[in-house]
Amino acid sequence: MLKNLLIAASVLTLFAGPAAAQDRYQNRPPVVVSPDLTAPWVMQLGGQQARTRQVMYRQQIPAATRKQYYQGQLARPQAKRRVVNPLIQPANAMRAQRPVKPKFDPQFLPQTVSYETKEKPGTIVIDTNNRFLYLVTGNGEARRYGVGVGKPGFEWAGAHKVSRKAEWPSWTPPQEMITREAAKGHYLPARMDGGPENPLGARAMYLGSTLYRIHGTNAPWTIGYAVSSGCIRMRNEDVVDLYERVKVGTKVIVI
26-60 tens-digit pLDDT: 555 555 544 555 444 444 444 444 444 444 444 55
User: Running DSSP on this structure, what letter comes out for residue 15?
Assistant: H
**106-254 maps to CATH 2.40.440.10:** yes
User: Is pLDDT above 80 for 15?
Assistant: no
pLDDT at 1: 56
Of residues 203, 215, 233, 235, which has the active-site annotation? Answer: 215
Q: Which residues contact 206 (CB under 8 A, 6 or more apart)?
A: 162, 163, 164, 165, 166, 212, 213
Note the pLDDT tens digit of each residue in 92-107: 544 555 656 567 789 9
215 is catalytic: yes
What are the C-alpha distances in Å from 112 to residues 7, 104, 187, 255?
129, 18, 40, 20
Average pLDDT score over residue span 123-128: 98
- The structure's pTM equals 0.60
Residue 174 banded pLDDT, cuts 50, 70, 90: confident
Cα–Cα distances in angstroms (integers) from residue 152 to residues 78, 101, 173, in the given order = 68, 22, 19
Q: How many of the other CB atoms lie within 10 Å of CB of 216?
A: 26
pLDDT band at 181 (very low <50, low <70, confident <90, very high): confident
Q: Which of 136, 231, 234, 254 is catalytic?
A: 231
C-alpha distances out from residue 23 to 12, 52, 63, 128, Å = 17, 20, 37, 112
Residue 254 C-alpha from the chain's centroid: 42
